[in-house]
Every structure is written in structure tokens, then in C-alpha cells.
Structure 1
Amino acid sequence: MYYGYGLGYGYYFDPTYILIIIAAVLALLAQLRVQFTFSKYSKVASSRGLTGAMVAEQILRSEGIYDVGVAHVSGSLTDHYDPRTKMVNLSDSVYNMSSIAAVAVAAHECGHAIQHNRGYVPLSLRSAIVPFANIGSKASWIFIILGVLLSWNQTLITVGILMFSLAVLFQIVTLPVEFNASARALRILKSNGMLVDRENSKARSVLTAAALTYVASAASAILQLLRLIILFGGNNRDDR
């Protein structure tokens, strides 16, 4: 038990807050890096002059994929591939832009479309996990709080922790999906000559920075799960 000053009330310092701080710092650093890198190479025009939309169309056709469309979505860094509608959605800073960053991001999203077309197992697994991960991330705290309120009911708390684990599993499975999409993108950009040699390393920098955000998200989720296990995973309540 630690005691503070101020109004004279005692307080307990929870050392697991350190895990939350680490997770927050990792997420912040990753986000700052991707924003800096994307902004830097958004100002560098690609030599071929191809826009993100043009790159996406060419990649899909070169891979023999004709049932996937390319659409424009609003926002910044909101680019994504939707396997349900089979659409490569490109943001304002990518769709009509011919920067190295735009080309790299467009190619990356096409990488996901290629994964879907080829039946890439980690992508299929991630898609299958999505609904359970969404439910688990939202409902986990309900079970944990109920467990604490109901005389520290360990069964409810354990169910809550297991449900949160589904969200963690989603973050972990996302890693090979994102790294593979980037690897496919870089390989295609080089083989199809959509970027000149000196630009390929810059495209790699953009995609590496983006990948680090997923690494940070996975690490943060694991740290949060670890904190839940430390705080609530025991069989006995820690009376304070």
C-alpha cells in the first residue's frame, strides 16, 4: 500500500499502468512515423506519372483479376481493400495522385486483392475472425466488470479475458497479411516497372512505416491482455 499527500487520502499505485504507458508510446511513435513518411513521399512525384488509381487498375489486370473494382473514398490514409464488395478503395491522397507514396499504397491494397483472389490462408482466417473479434473486444469488459461486481466471480472474468483474446488474435493474424501484401506490392512495382529503381526503396520506406503501425497495434493488444491477466486472472481477489 502506498500513501499519497494532498487531501490525506491513501492511494494504491497499480504497476500494470506501465504496460498501458508502453502500449500508448508504441502506438504514438508508429503513427507519427507513418504520417511523417507518407507526408514526405507524398511530395515526391513518381517518374512514370501514374496515379494511384491507374496503378491499381494496371496491377489488377496484370494479375488477371477482372472482378475487382477501384473506387475513391474520402479521408487521408483511409485506403483499404473490401473483400465483401471486391473493391480497392483509395483515399484522397492516393486515388488521383502520382506521388511515390500514392503508388506504394495503391499497390499495397492491390496486394490484398491478390491475396483474396489466390485464397491466401491468413487473409481468410482474418476475415473469419473479424465478427468474433468485434464482439469480443466490446463484450469482454462487460463480463469482467460483472465478474468483479458479483463477488469476484472468476468464471465471468475468465470469459471476459478469453473474449478479449479474440481481439488480440485478430491483431496477430493481421501481421502476416499486411507484410505479405506489402511484399507482393513491392515485387509487382519493380517487375512491372511502375517505379524506377531509385524510387523502389522510397516505396519500401512508405510500406515499412505503415507496417509498423500494425506491429504496434499487435504489441499494444498483447500488453493490454497481459495487464488483464495480471489484474484479474488470479483465483483470489486482491483486497486493497
Structure 2
Amino acid sequence: MFFFDPTFIILIPGLILAFVAQIYVQERFSKYSRIPSSLNMTGAQLAKFMLESSGIYDVSVERVPGNLTDHYDPKSKVVRLSDATYNSNSVAALGVVAHEIGHAIQHARKYVPLVIRNGIAPVVSFSSNLSWILFIIGFIFANFALVKIGIFLFSLAVLFSVITLPVEFDASRRAIKLLSSNLMMPKNEISGVKSVLTAAAMTYVASTLMAFLQLLRMLLIAGFLGGNKD
């Protein structure tokens, strides 16, 4: 019965937003993937050019399989571009690539929210998995101490999600600035880039909302358990 308790209803807004965000980002990327950029550069070429023009020479660019699996790895200092962006010259691809370069620039400039996020990432990776295990064990055996530890550990994951928002928004801001100011991308193409990156940002907003709702659900269940102890 634990997995079907009424508090699950709390998660519905987050699930809906996450579903809509995924559809929206796929639709935006698909639309602007069909529009070639006048910059006449592939994603890989753009990435290397933007890194060098920003004075960053210790970050490499690699190709990874998949669709929209693009990411910046701060540990290895590698910008990894997906099959959908590496050799593409579309407005959508260049926007995604510029966003990842934005992360590399954040790292090089020691952007504070990114430094904090990278610092707590290993702890969050461990605590987010352990939190629900302790919480469920505590609930089953009516051990309120384990429940509280589980909530605390999950709170770290919520904090990580919150810190991720300014990191992602700032990377997009840097991307748009570089494309418009440094590369003189036309306004109609910049509009397409903004549309794609705004859609991508929705997925992070949805993730943060879901984390908050999960935490609220845990608190409500803990309150029920605590009330039964009195």
C-alpha cells in the first residue's frame, strides 16, 4: 500500500510538466534541425571555434552516440556532442552546441553556481539513491530516525536541482551572446536558438518541480508516521 498512498497525487503536476517539456523540446529541436544556419559551420567546428575565441585551449571536443546526449564533462574537460549535432549545421544543433560551450566557459571562469554544483555532485549521486532506501525502511519499521535521515539526504538532491537552474540559464545566456555578438548570427536564427534552449530549460524546471514535490510527499508521509507514534 505504501507505493499507492494518496500522497502520490502530489506528483501529478510535476509528471505532467515533465511530459510536456520532453515533447516540447523534441518538437522545437526537430523544427529547427531542418533549418540550416547561415554560419556554414558544423557543431564540431562551432565548438572548437568558440572555445578558442574564448581563450580556452585545454578542452577537447568528442562525438558520442545518441540524440541530444550532448554534455560538458568538467572532470575530463571534454565537450561531448551527439550524433544529432556533431556534423550538423542546423540552427538547433548550433544552439545546443553553443550551450555546452557555455558550460565550458563557466568552468574556465569559475562560475560560482557551477563550482558549487560540481562540488556537491558526488555527494548527491550517493545520497539520492540512499535517501529512498532509508526512508522506506524507516517507514516499514516505523523508525522515525531513518525516515528523517532519508528526508535530509533527499533534500541535498533538491538543493542540487535548484542550483542547476541558474547554471543552465546562464549557459544559454552565454551561448546566445556568443552567437549574436561574436559570430553575428542573424536575428531570425537567434530566435530559433532561443526557442530550442527555452524548451530545453523547461526540462530542468520540470525536474526541479518534481524534486520539490517528492520532498513534500516525503514530509507528508513522515508527518503521518510521526502522528501515529504520538
- TM-score, normalised to structure 1's length? 0.90
> After the TM superposition, which residues 99-118 of structure 1 pair with which residues of structure 2 at under 5 Å, given as runs?
99-118=90-109
TM-score (ref. length: structure 2): 0.94
Which of 169, 186, 197 is the aligned partner of 2:176? 186
CA contact (8 A) 1:157 1:233 kept: no
**Bigger share in helix:** 2
Report deviation, 1:194: 5.0
Q: Shift of the alpha carbon at 1:96?
A: 0.3
2:163 matched residue in structure 1: 173
1:94 alignment partner, SS class: coil
Q: 1:124 aligns with which of 102, 107, 115?
A: 115
Which residue number in structure 1 is paired with residue 200 of structure 2? 210
Equivalent residue pairs, number: 226
Give the drift of 1:83: 0.4
Unaligned runs of 5+ in 2: none
Partner of 1:148: 139
Aligned mates of 2:19, 2:5 — CA distance in 1: 22
Q: Deviations over 1:162-219 (max 9, x none)?
A: 1111111111110000000000000000012252222111111011110110000000
Q: In the alignment, what sits opposite 1:10? A: none
Q: Which runs of 4+ in 1 moved over 6 A?
A: none
Q: Which amino acid aligns with 2:29?
A: F
154, 168, 188: which is aligned to 1:164?
Answer: 154
Which range moved further: 173-182 or 42-51? 42-51
Residue 16 (1) aligns with residue 10 (2):
no
| 1:45 equivalent in alignment to 2:36 | yes
Counterpart-to-counterpart distance in 2, 1:110 and 1:146: 43
Structure 1 residue ranges without an equivalent (≥5): 1-12
Q: Alignment identity in percent?
A: 54
- CA shift, 1:238, in A, is 7.9
Shift of 1:23: 1.6
Is 1:97 aligned to 2:88, yes or no?
yes
